Amino acid sequence: MTVLLTGAAGFIGFHVANALLDRGERVVGVDSVNDYYDPALKQARLDRLEGRNGFAFHRLDIADPAPLFELVDATPDIETVIHLAAQAGVRYSLENPWAYADANVRGQIGVLEASRRLPRLKHIVYASSSSVYGGNTKIPFAVGDPVERPVSVYAVTKRSGELLADTYAHLYGMALTGLRFFTVYGPWGRPDMAYFSFTKAILEGTPIQVFNSGEMKRDFTYIDDIVEGVLAAAGRPPKPDDAGRAHRIYNLGNHRAEPLPRFIEVIEKACRREARKELVEMQPGDVKETYADIEASRRDLDFDPRTPIDEGIPRFVAWFRDYYGV
């Protein structure tokens, strides 16, 4: 099987690509390799992928349709599209909303339009986010919960991607599955995420900022569990519902809301150092708690996250020390 994988140089994309290659699939990877965070880390991921049989990389921007259309026209045997490319980050979306409109809305349209040109297409799996739940107070978050009150530009663009997918399923009979990721972490992760910046600061002996004085909870989901969920979804195209739309959305989370202070304690233990904490206010666009209801994911995808932070965080810290030589 040939898979078009967008965001191949990204954190989740890198791990998904490796898992697909391990299964003997052919992976056509695309990424713009932008500088939202250190491009050298993205290139290091790519260097590992490009040394593997079955992987071909194309540097392009999914918001620019011409090169994307040219690529799919030259690769008509693509059967599955796994669309992970996005402009990530809640706080940065308040500083540069244009980047999110381009990557997450225009880019979503670009991938959907490109996919329409594939004669053997069976399924599109795309990344959404737990951020779409906004400030919902009902816990845990379930796919059927209201998502009309997002609290960040990032969340708006990810919800827009879901609505676009639903519309394309209706208009063109395409099979699509959206996955709402909950705070993914692990080796080769993103430097803008808290677990990464906390680890760096603790090992350097510099303060960490603890938002809302630590009164926060997150559903931290280890990368290996996420990859299993993505691959399970990719292999199970949804059937049309009563309205004739073959589009489903699932939560991929660990089904556990960890208090921020405990999360920091686990990082401290893995680093064998105590953090210097600076208590700060809640940031605009942020939420106090995330917690995934994964009943539907378990039922339809056999999704079974097994990695607690007590196992996942030490694995990340070990990778961090090795990668950065600290």
Q: How many whole angstroms separate alpha carbon 258 and alpha carbon 227?
A: 21
The continuous run of DSSP H or E covering 193 comes out as: none
Q: What is the pTM of this model?
A: 0.96
| DSSP notation for 120-133 | T--EEEEEEEGGGG
- When computed from its CA atoms, the radius of gyration of the chain, rounded to whole angstroms, is 19
Q: Can you give the pLDDT at residue 281?
A: 84
Contact 251, 230 (CB under 8 A): no
Residues 175-188: pLDDT tens digits? 999 999 999 999 99
The pLDDT of residue 286: 79
In this structure, what are the phi and psi dihedrals at residue 217, rounded to the nearest 5 degrees? -135, 145
Instruction: Tell me if 97 sits within 8 A of 285, measured CB to CB.
Output: no
The whole-number pLDDT of residue 29 equals 98
Grouped pLDDT means (10 residues each) for the chain, 326 residues: 97 98 98 96 97 96 97 98 95 93 98 98 98 93 94 96 98 98 98 96 95 90 98 97 96 96 97 93 83 97 97 98 96
Per-residue pLDDT tens over the stretch 293-316: 999 999 999 999 999 999 999 999
Place of tokens 């290139």: 43
- pLDDT value for 197: 96
Domains parsed from the chain with CATH numbers: 2-182+221-255+291-306 (3.40.50.720)
* CA–CA distance, 269 with 273 (Å, rounded to integer): 7
Just list the catalytic residues.
154
